[in-house]
Amino acid sequence: MIDDLWLIKLKIDIKSRNPDMLLEEYIKTTKDELLSYTTEFKKGQILYRGRLGYKSYGEETEEGNLKFKYPFFGKDIKNPPCHLSEAARFNRDGFSYLYLSSDEKTCIAELRLKIGSVCSIAEFRQKKDLKLLNLDNNKTLKEFLITPVCDENRYQYKFTRFISDLIKEIGIDGIAYDSVQSNGKCFVIFDDQNFELIPYSEKMFLAKRVEYKFEEVLPEFVGDNRYNELLDSSDRDLEYIANNPHYKKA
């Protein structure tokens, strides 16, 4: 059963064994359950892909700006070729997957477009019925696979990429999940040939304002009898106090 204990075991296995050697073992034990979490997506669906920036033509002169700006189009708005593809949440180096969004707003949010910056977005049409793993069907997978990862914790991607490899090897076409940046849906499609770029659908968008949703995070020792000591402690004292739950000042 894919639950928190399963995830703990997976992390231990990947830390101690070659992931490629583990894949077949996990396919045998999780294939049926993963297939039960899939949802069929019918052909014809329109999704969106974005890329930071745009193209330009012409040169700026003292008399005026002769540069013409236009969105990335054709192969430049599609997923990168394999030899240029870098590792991400769901794909390894050299594997190029198609990352898509349900709407333009979600697409822009996923790009993390900065104020004053411009991005290019195009529409992609689904060419055939696809079977996607719907993360809404398993809480453990959903929370783990889409939790934002900061630069210091990018090692977590070794686990998300293994799970992605597992899903792909079972014969599932991709993954559908909620965006953590917006209210829409995101999709990762393993085979980009399952979608086609809609010609002349390319657009440019300028970010004018960014909104944040946040909550206060209290120090872990608030309400603890060690809290006041921590406020006045040195780094060495801090480490000692944090690791000794029964610490009391002499």
Q: Per residue of the chain (250 residues), give pLDDT as tens.
A: 999 999 999 999 998 888 888 999 999 999 999 999 999 999 999 999 999 999 988 776 666 666 788 999 999 999 998 988 888 889 989 999 999 999 999 999 999 999 999 999 999 999 999 999 999 999 999 999 988 777 767 788 889 999 999 999 999 999 999 998 888 999 999 999 999 999 999 999 999 988 777 888 776 655 555 555 555 555 555 555 556 655 555 4
Which long-range contacts link 12-19 to residues 24+ away (Cβ below 8 Å)?
14/158, 14/159, 14/162, 19/158, 19/162, 19/165
How far is CA 234 from its chain centroid? 38
Q: Do 129 and 228 share a domain, yes or no?
A: no
Q: Do 123 and 175 share a domain, yes or no?
A: yes
Q: Do 221 and 202 share a domain, yes or no?
A: no
Number of domains composing the chain: 2
Q: Do 182 and 219 share a domain, yes or no?
A: no
State the CB neighbour count (10 A cutoff) for residue 104.
Answer: 16
172: exposed, middle or buried (Cβ count in 10 Å: 0-12, 13-18, 19+): buried
Q: Do 168 and 236 share a domain, yes or no?
A: no
Q: Do 169 and 128 share a domain, yes or no?
A: yes
Q: Do 172 and 232 share a domain, yes or no?
A: no
Q: Do 166 and 228 share a domain, yes or no?
A: no
**Which residue is it, tokens 């005026």?**
64
The range of the structural domain enclosing residue 250 comes to 215-250
CATH of the domain at 139: 3.90.175
Strands (E), the chain: 38-41, 46-52, 55-57, 60-61, 64-65, 68-70, 98-101, 118-126, 130-134, 174-178, 185-189, 195-197, 203-206
Q: Do 157 and 228 share a domain, yes or no?
A: no
Query: What is the sign, positive or negative, of the torsion defined by CA atoms of 212, 213, 216, 219?
Result: negative
In which element (H, E) is residue 29 found? helix 19-36
Q: Do 194 and 232 share a domain, yes or no?
A: no
Q: Do 188 and 249 share a domain, yes or no?
A: no
What pTM was estimated for this model as a whole? 0.81
3-state secondary structure of 67: coil
Q: Do 196 and 219 share a domain, yes or no?
A: no
Among 202, 152, 146, residue whose Cα is nearest residue 176: 146
